[in-house]
Structure 1
Amino acid sequence: MKPFSHRCGEGLDRDAEGQSAGRHHWGRHHRGFCRHERGEGRDRVESTGNSVLDARRREVLEKIEAERAKLREEAKAFAEFAARERRDADQALFDRFMAERAKGAGETPVTEA
């Protein structure tokens, strides 16, 4: 196997069905050949050679990541809110249905306490 030619995930231990067991088998390749192990990726930034600029860049990226975290939390809260609203709307619709059904049958509707 060529050390730098493999895709990330090659050299992973496999279970009986051939699925990844999620851990590298280091006997097949050496640490550092996968991009994620070398630290490459969307969050890795090359040094400019200017320590002040590099520090500023790190500071700005940390602020952006903090803002992303806030947005993820806000999206989660909104999804929970929307789910509660849908549940309440479904409950109101069901209650109206049961009330109309009870009227037609001459029964008294049962309401939740």
Structure 2
Amino acid sequence: MDFVDEVTLEVAAGDGGNGCVAFRREKYVPLGGPAGGDGGRGGDVILVAHDRFSTLFDLRYRKVVRAERGEDGRGKDQYGKAGADVRIEVPVGTQAYDADSDVLIADLNEHGAELVVARGGQGGR
């Protein structure tokens, strides 16, 4: 088994869904008011330290990680579903650096430690 101790990943959080422009239409309610739902929030990209791993081999060929986009809102006050988070399991002791500035962001030095590296967008209204 090969041992990989350094990988570079491009991460992108999910965009928030669009809100819906809709108006309530009922008999005997001349100006019903707004009835559109908000868009769902986008998914996050999260690093999770796990003690069952000892190498970053599984991430060797994975260059881009994107979280899911939130669903758009719908009429009748139906809110959009939130995008799914992407959880990347890494070995305990993994250090996350900003690739541009080479600054240490976090050291995941215990089992279960989590780091949100990209936060999903807020849903539209």
Higher strand content, 1 or 2: 2
TM-score by length of 1: 0.18
TM-score, with normalisation over the residues of structure 2?
A: 0.17
Give the helix-richer structure, 1 or 2.
1
Give the greater-gyration-radius structure (CA): 1
Whose relative contact order is higher, 1 or 2, with alpha carbons under 8 Å and at least 6 apart? 2
